[in-house]
Amino acid sequence: MNIKESIERSIPHLLKLQKEDGHFEGELSSNTFPTCAYVLTQLDLGQPIDEKIIGWFEKNQNEFGYWGLDSAIGSDN
């Protein structure tokens, strides 16, 4: 199996783990990296991005247009 096939097979599992507001729970639950990685994967595969994910990024973006390491403690960290 090649990488693209592996990624495509993992998407349904990731979608089951994703919460209603677009985040994934776990050790990095408030970190933007896993969500960014998912979005980049979707874009690479030519798949649409769920509006809830876009909303999560907008909600957690700071006044300067970027995101901190941990959305739970603010976006200036």
pLDDT tens digit sequence for 7-29:
899 999 999 999 999 888 776 54
Instruction: Give domain status of residue 32, yes or no.
Output: yes
53 domain residue, yes or no: yes
Looking from the CA of 34 toward its CB, the CA atoms found within 13 Å total: 17
The boundaries of the domain holding residue 27 are 3-62
Tokens in use for 75? 């976006």
Residue ranges of the chain whose pLDDT lies below 50: 29, 77
Which phi and psi angles does 41 have, rounded to 5°?
A: -65, -45
In a domain, 73, yes or no: no
Per the structure, how many domains does the chain have? 1
Task: Bin 68: left if φ > 0, else alpha if -120 < ψ < 50, else beta.
Answer: beta
| This prediction's pTM | 0.49
Whether 31 maps to a domain, the answer reads: yes
Residue 67 in any domain: the answer is no
Q: Is 72 inside a domain boundary? A: no
Write out the two tokens for 3: 């990488």
SS3 23: coil
Q: How far apart are CA 22 and CA 53, in angstroms?
A: 5
In a domain, 19, yes or no: yes
